[in-house]
Structures are given as structure tokens and as C-alpha cells.
Structure 1
């Protein structure tokens, strides 16, 4: 069993406590709560969920300052007797800007089923002050596409793409400064979010941090372990781990080490699956790749206008690149759908692929009061990720070279290298903020780091390299494709998660877990798997698998909004 000073951090590559997303807002009005230095719980959303607003310093270097922030916290409360209570388990779904509140509202019962009723399952979001570069929602939607649609600009869509993207990011950076009269944005940083985690744990009256963070949550968890290595760690797990010192350098090239390998699994999987399971089928992987290249060239030469009942737009090169990249994040759920969309597009029908990635047209109703929280995941990303990093003062020529260097790593550099161009526009950097290096010779309890075999933006090698920065930590590999281990249900992976959180048990070196999913499932394989489940598993095993599937589904939805 863990000692009294056990602190666990599970770092899983892609929640930012200072972000705000709109998902669960309509079900509860956080403005009715008063912030306090103690946790005053009130029923919220649906039973048994409880909510509280925790007051913390805006500036942790001057805690006596009267300016404060309010952290919105939701918990699925423990039902164990006090003698068996193990404290809060904080979950962060990534981003920056992903909503932990939405995660717990959507799957709190399932978290408790998997990890045990001895924990309070805790998520955070809807905190104030919110990150905002704009005065109105209309202005926001005009300048920033909705985070649930095409996200990354392409740096090679045209001869002026890099320059246009650079100018747009400079504009957003200037708007951030213009609308930050109180100087709050400088405090929206990963090191302060780590301090928020410490404040939350202490407010619970518990002596150790227990944390599971995915994607950006891995950076946050590793940052906490660096800043507070001797603070009692219960457990800390980061899946989908990125090499944590690189974001502080605004260097995202190494994130693409496995992007092309992830793409290759679409080509090979489609060829092997056959035409019934993969609508974009060709006899060989190389032919599938050639067909996609030809289709991309066709769309580049002649984009297609699309009108659906929900929205309208242009399916062009940038849209297609992002649709494919989006599927790489969540292949077990999106590869087959992507294949259907590509097959339809090759036949001249762009509607299916467009509809898979569309967002309803924005409508501005001036008669309705402004929402308490706006959809701001891009602003949260820019403020936190770019604000954390060392200032990027690159010229256009230097950014062009950065992109060209990225092409040597991945063909997707045109969209993924744009992250440095984004940071080039952001000029708010707090003096004294943490900028690395990340790592600690000793932590109060070893970290568990988890990575997929192929992750398009957080390569497995990063989990291994980060483990070297935290001696005594363990690496668990999930043999799967996609972003974070939540892309597919794995009985094996979740059994190790549970053993780590409940007993402090680490997997043996070299442990690899398979997943209960196929990239291109056929109707026959689905039927066979269903029969095997009913005949070989007991009811508890089925419930746990269904619970982990629900957690994955909820978190993947949040990640698609936050990335």
C-alpha cells in the first residue's frame, strides 16, 4: 500500500484549470456560487455531483495581494467510509483549455467504477477570470474558427500562407494585450496551474496529490513534479506524453516523430481490411497512399463548395489536411468514417467528409444575455502554451526555415509547425515564470508515464526520454495508434492504472498492453467480439470495460474541442 506520503501522478499525453469551455455550462450556473478559501460544496448538475469555487491568489508570488482568482471544481464524491477515504483524484483532459468539469459531469460515475469509491473524482474548468482576447462573441467567431472545426492553418496552402498566418497571429497577440487591462493574462501559466493543483489538494485537507493528466495534462503533471518533487505524491500518471521541456522552448518539431507512422497505419490498415471495412480500399498500402495524394491534388486544384442543413463552407486543401489529421488523433473511431468520406469525395460528393468535420453556423442573438463562459480553447492554448514558452521573435525567414526543417520529420509539418507561428504573435510573458528544465532527481513517489506505440503528436520516444528525467519512474506502452491511451479501450492499461492509484504498483519494465479495438472493424469481427465478451467475461469485467469506454468517449470529445 502507498505510504502516508504517497503522491501519484499519472502523466498521459493531452486540463487546464484556467480554461473555459461551453460543454456543460447550460446545466449549472457557476455565477450563483461564492468563491471561498475553503471548499463549500453544493449539489450541481445531477446527483451525486457537487460543486465549489475555490479562491486562490492571482499572483502566487504575492499571495497577500487582494486580487484573486476563482477555481471552479466539480467532484464525484467518494462513498467510502472515512477510514477508507483516499482523497481527491484530479483529472486533466488536456488542451490547454480542456474542461475537467465536462469530463466528470460526463463520466464521473465511470471514473469511480474504474478507480474505486475511495476517491473523490475531481475536475476543474469555468474558472475566473476567464481568458479572453475579445470584447464580443461575434468578434471572437469572426477572427478565430470554432475549436470544434478545422483548427490548424496550413503553411503551404498558398505562397502567402505563412505570411498571412503570421500576420493573423500578430493581430491576435495585439488584441490579447489590448483587452488585458488588468494584467491577468501573465498569470495564466502552467506553473501557476500547478500551484492551483497544490491549493486544491490542500483545500481538501489531504496530504498528497493524486493526478491523472492526458496530453497537455502530461506537461502540467511533469511541471508539478519538477516544482514540488518532495510534496507528497499519491500517484501521478501522464498518458500521451510529450517531451515536456520542448513546449517551454516553443519547439514542436519532435512532436511529429510518429505522425507519418500513424498515417501509415491508415494506409496499411485500409489495404488489409478489404473494401467492406474500408471504403477507400486499394490492394496495397502504397496504392491507398497514392490515391489520397491524387485526391489531395485534385481538391487543391479545384475546391468544392458545400451546403448542409447545419453549415456551409469550402472543402479545400486545408480542410482535407485537417480532416485527415483529426482522424489520426482518434483512429479507432474515425478511420472508417474518414475512408467513407474520402471515397465519397473521390466520387465527387464532398458533403459526407465536410459534414464529419463541420460546426453549425454561428448565430448572434443580441436579445440573449452573454454567457458566463465562452468557447475559448484557442485563446487558452495561445495564452498558456505561448505564454509559458521563451519569447519567439523569429523573422518570417526563420519561421520558413523552421517549417522546412519540420518537413524533414513529417509531411504534416505544414499544419503542425504552425504552432510556432502562433507563439510568434504572443508577447505576454511573466518575469520569473517557470520555463524549465523539467525533471527531478528524487520525487516523493515514482511517476507512471504512458504512451502509445504511435501517437501523431506525442511520440512514444518522449515518454521514454521524460522517464529519464525522473529517475525511478516507469513507462507503460499501449500498443495502439492515436493521441493518448484513451483512443481505445484496453483492459490491460486500465488494470495498471488502477493498480497504480490504489496500491502504488508500477508495471514491470517493458510492459506492453494491447487494446480491445480494431482500426477497421468488420461486422464479422464485431459479432465475434460480442460473443466472446458474453461467454468469457463476468459481469464485473463487462461493466469495467464499458466504464473505460465511456471515459474514453467523453475525453476524446473534449480533446477534439481543446486541441
Structure 2
């Protein structure tokens, strides 16, 4: 049986409570190149904000670490704040990688700003210079790696679900014992207030301009609902359903288009047989997809050796999941799948390593996973006490998506047993009339955030519009489309929304043969996205 734990609800109308603490000005200066690497003109800065917004008289502060990509064209029209998802993805590192391309998308007249999340669990050598909330679940990297390595996919074995439930209880206990004092201070509502604190400190026009992707759309919907009068321009791109994010036992709707995105790999492959190694003879898309399903089921029981490395169910499925972030992965993915299906695996390991972006899990990846646990689980209001009571949740996930159904079982089970709740959770209905209307964007083939969520969330925000992008990949940035580029840049320049029902087409299909001589602005964004996705 589900139970709802009481969640503290702070008054959302108290605008004075979100002002930055102490000196509101941000002191900008050179960035540490080892922390923030970029080819753009960047500066870094710190801003002290309230550590606990439910205690406005407290002297305890948190130092937000920010990066700013300066406007290419002057005078600047102001600042746009970004959140790249996760929750827990680094803001500074992601903006450093994507800054030059995003400057083009925003028309070049805006300063672009992002800050790192409240929660960081990296060793000191990986941390920035400012204060982050010391949220952690273990005392050392060995224990942390052991904890994270147990987070398998639900269908990886006949006993996986039971192990995941028990591991969820262990993780919940470990994190509570280690971070009970801080685990309630990293929720989304506090980050929404951080956004407003940054706006106040910038001393521009007092209005928030914001572009949120993936989880960043939940953050955006939250801040727009809490502070509708402070919204100037806002793009929510690759939209989560915030109602389910906060108030459901799992993010069911999030995976409702995942099978369509998975199938898109094979239909696109068949449409370009000269460029897709997996397309052989007269195989149909359905036949190729079934061959990959057969491969997944085979390695589940009989993992494939690649030199000294063992490719099993979790590795293979994880690689496919990652490759669904953008079609720029698909040529390499289908090369690997063809090698595995045909048994010609002599050169498969280097391809696998290239797809994975290296031979080890990055510190950024670990941070994001811990961030998902700490932030999402603290925000979620549903708790489940018994394994047998959670099985209907698993069953619904499996029915929602054949491919993705077991991918998020682990995090859902951890959240079900989480022992810390955010001190503030937005408990409204996401019905708001913002100062200026919001632009929602959704891809028809996004396996992580379906188009239906963009429409569902848009329905609560008066005068907002949904832009459909007919393409595969996560968020509009993953789809090379001049149509999308023009609509987004026009929106930032003068606030013009597309007409309702507007659908943008991709400039080129997956598996297009784009040579270095034909590179364009979309190749730059693809290069940055590859690096960002591999960090998360």
C-alpha cells in the first residue's frame, strides 16, 4: 500500500524570502580551466544564497558556483539561465561545452548563465572552489562504487528485482545515516528559489529568462508556477511530467514513447542501407529489431567475451539506452550491433569503448546518479514499504515500455524507500499565467521525454505553445533543424511564439553522411551534446 509522508509546504508568494543573502552582487572572474573548459568567452563567479529557504532569518548560506558565457553581440539584452537536467548534471561544465552553439541559438545578444547543483559528492580534487552541500552516502570511493555498481536493470536476471529492492533499502539507509542533516536541502523548490536569487543578484530587470532541458523542465515548471510574475521568456525542452515526478511512484509517462524511439533506430537504418552497417540484404526494420532483441536475450544468459571484457545484458542495454540520446550515436551503435549479431567481434571492443566514451565511469556520471537519488527521491512524495506492494509499479513500467520498462526500476525502488524529504516541495497544480508565455518543445521520437508530456504540461500554462519537432533524440538540440533554430532564436530575440500546431522537420535524416567539409552549426551542438551526455 502506498503512503504519503507529510511534506513541508512553504508559502510560495513570499518573494522577499528568495533574495540572495548578504552581498547580492556576483563577483565574476577567470574560470579554472580544469573545472570549466570552453572555447567561448567565459567567466566564473560565486553567489551566496540561503542554505535553507524555510529559515529566512538564518545566517547559514550556500555558495552557488556560476559560469557566464558573454553575449557575442553588444549591448547584451540580459541573461538566460540554463539547467541541463539530471537532476544533478553539472551546470558549469555543460554550459562550457555547449556555450558557443547555444549563443547562436539565442541570437548572440544574451549572456548565458548556469550554476552547479546544490548536491555534489565528489572527492575534493573534483570539487569547485565554492561551498556545495556535502550530500554523500558513503565514506570513500570504493564503497560508493560498490553501491552504484549494484544498480542493474530489472530484467537483467530472474533475481534482479529482489536484489534491487534490498539494495534500495541499503542505499536509503546509507544516505540517511550519512546525510540526514543535508538531504532535505537539495530539493527542486529550493533550486527554483536559487534561480530567482541569481536573477536578483544580476541586477538587470528582475525577470527570469530560462532554458531547461529534461529534468530542467520540471525545475522550470516549478519556478514558473511559484513565481509566474517573474517569467519573461522560458523554453522547456524535452519535457518531463512534473505531476508524476513529484507525486507518482515512478515516472510512467516519461517512457511512453521509448519503444517508438528504439524502433526508430531500425527504420532509419533500413532507409539508409549504404550508411547503416546493420542493414543487410532485404531485412525489414521489424526483422532487424527482433534480431537485436534476440541478441539482448542471448547475452542475458550467455554474455559475450570481448577480449578480457564481458559484454552482458546490462552493458549492451546501457549502450543502446545511451545511444538513444542522439542519432549521432547510431552509425557506431549499429556497427557494434552488426558485429555482435554476426559474431565478427574481433574489433568490437574498441567500438564499444568509443560508444561509451571511455573505459570507466566518470566522476560526473557518479555525481549525477547520486544527484538523481538525492534530489528526485527527496522531491517524491510517494513511499512504499513492502516489496510486494511495489511490484504493481514494476508491472506498469514494463507495460509502458518493453525496452525502457526495466531501466529505471532501481531508482524507483530507492525513492520508494527514501528516508529524507525535501523541506519544501511544490504542491500546486502547475496551473499558472506567467508574465509572458512559455515555449514548450517536444520531439516525436524522444525516448526519454515524450511529446505528450509537452502538451500535458503546456495545458496548465496560459497562452503557452508547444513546438513539435519531427525527429529522434533527447530534446530539440539533438535534432539538426533550421526550422527549430529559427523559431528558438526568434523567440529569444523578440518573444514571438510559433503558431499552435507548428511542426519542424529535421534537416537531414539519421545516418546522413555529413563530411567535415559540410559541417554546420548543428555539428557543433552535436559535438557538445556527445560530451554532455557521456558526463551524465
Higher alpha-carbon deviation: 214-223 or 402-411: 402-411
Unaligned runs of 5+ in 2: 1-21, 117-127
Match of 2:63 in 1: 70
Query: How far is the alpha carbon of 1:217 from its aligned partner?
Result: 0.5
Structure-2 change in CA distance of 1:479 and 1:67 (3 Å): same
Structure 1: distance between partners of 2:337 and 2:284: 17
Measure, in 2, the Cα distance between the counterparts of 1:411 and 1:362.
26
2:384 is the alignment partner of 1:390: no
Residues 479-512 of structure 1, C-alpha deviations (whole Å, 9 max, x = no match):
1012111112211112111111110000011111
Partner residue, 2:417: 425
TM-score of the two chains, using structure 1 as the length reference: 0.81
CA contact (8 A) 2:28 2:43 kept: yes
Task: Give the equivalent residue in structure 2 for 1:243.
Answer: 241
Compute the displacement of 1:227 (Å). 0.6
The answer to whether residue 108 in structure 2 is matched with residue 112 in structure 1 is no
State the match for 1:51 in structure 2: 44
The offset of 1:164, in angstroms, is 0.6
Query: Are 1:473 and 2:477 matched, yes or no?
Result: no
Please give the secondary structure, in 2, of the residue aligned with 1:144.
helix
- Whether the 8 Å contact between 2:83 and 2:213 is mirrored in structure 1 is yes
Tell me the SS of whatever aligns to 2:211.
Answer: strand
Pairing 1:144–2:148 present: yes
Give 1:437's aligned residue: 429
Q: CA deviation at 1:458?
A: 0.8
Pairing of 1:260-299 with structure 2 (within 5 A): 260-274=259-273, 276-281=275-280, 283-299=283-299
1:151-166 correspondence to structure 2 within 5 Å: 153-166=152-165
Match of 1:187 among 170, 185, 188: 185
- Give distance in 1, aligned partners of 2:372 and 2:104: 32
1:260-319 deviation digits (Å, cap 9, x = unpaired): 111121222222222552335452112112211222232123112334xxxx64211222
Question: Is the 1:190–1:388 contact (alpha carbons within 8 Å) kept by the matching residues of 2?
Answer: yes
User: Which of the numbers 406, 414, 433 marks the counterpart of 1:414?
Assistant: 406
C-alpha deviation, 1:438, in angstroms: 2.1
Distance 1:276 1:467, change over 3 A: closer
Over the aligned positions, Cα root-mean-square deviation in angstroms equals: 2.5
Deviations 1:56-77 (A, max 9, x none): 0111111221221110001012
In 1: Cα distance, 2:361 partner to 2:97 partner: 25
Deviations 1:450-503 (CA, angstroms, capped at 9, x unpaired): 000121121101101111111200110111012111112211112111111110
TM-score (norm 2): 0.85
Deviation at 1:561, TM superposition (A): 2.7
* Rounded Cα–Cα distance in structure 2 between residues aligned with 1:199 and 1:388: 20
Q: How far apart in 2 are the matches of 1:357 and 1:407? A: 26
Deviation at 1:556, TM superposition (A): 4.3
CA deviation after TM superposition for structure 1 residue 410, in Å: 1.2
Alignment correspondent of 2:5 = none
Asked if the contact 2:233–2:492 (Cα under 8 Å) also holds between the matched residues in 1, the reply is yes
Q: 1:258 aligns to what? A: 257
Between the aligned partners of 2:366 and 2:462, the Cα distance in structure 1 is 39
Identify if the C-alpha distance between structure 1 residues 456 and 94 changes in structure 2 by more than 3 Å, giving closer, same or farther.
same
Q: Which residue of 2 aligns with 1:341?
A: 336
Deviates more, 1:201-210 or 1:115-124: 115-124
Shift in Å, 1:436: 4.1
Question: Is 2:510 the partner of 1:519?
Answer: yes
Stretch of structure 1 that moved more, 279-288 or 511-520 = 279-288
Distance apart, 1:416 and its partner CA: 3.2
Partner Cα distance (2:495, 2:482) in 1: 18
> Do the aligned residues in 1 keep the contact of 2:300 with 2:313 (CA within 8 Å)?
yes
Q: For 1:402, what is the secondary structure of its paired residue?
A: helix
Inter-partner Cα distance in structure 2 for 1:520 and 1:105:
28
> Corresponding residue for 1:39?
26
Structure 1 residue 108: Cα displacement: 2.5
CA separation of 1:274 and 1:55: change in aligned 2, threshold 3 A: same
- Name the CA shift for 1:394/1:327 in 2 (closer, same or farther; >3 Å): farther
CA contact 1:488–1:549 (8 Å) conserved in 2: no
Equivalent residue number for residue 499 of structure 1: 490
Question: What displacement does 1:152 show?
Answer: 6.3
Cα displacement (A) at 1:401: 1.8
Which structure has more relative contact order (CA 8 Å, sep 6+)? It is: 1
Counterpart-to-counterpart distance in 1, 2:469 and 2:461: 20
User: 1:444-483 counterparts in 2 under 5 A?
Assistant: 444-483=435-474
**CA gap 1:462/1:155 in 2 versus in 1, 3 angstroms:** same
Match of 1:28 in 2: none
Question: Structure 1 residues 131, 444: closer, same or farther in 2, change over 3 A?
Answer: same
Q: CA deviation at 1:252?
A: 1.1
8 A contact 1:487–1:556 mirrored in 2 = no
In 2, the alpha carbon distance for the partners of 1:439 and 1:296 equals 43
Contact kept in structure 2, 1:391 and 1:424, CA below 8 Å: yes
Residue 353 to residue 172, structure 1, CA distance change in 2 (3 Å): farther
Q: Structure 1, unaligned stretches of length 5 or more?
A: 1-34, 146-150, 364-370, 534-541
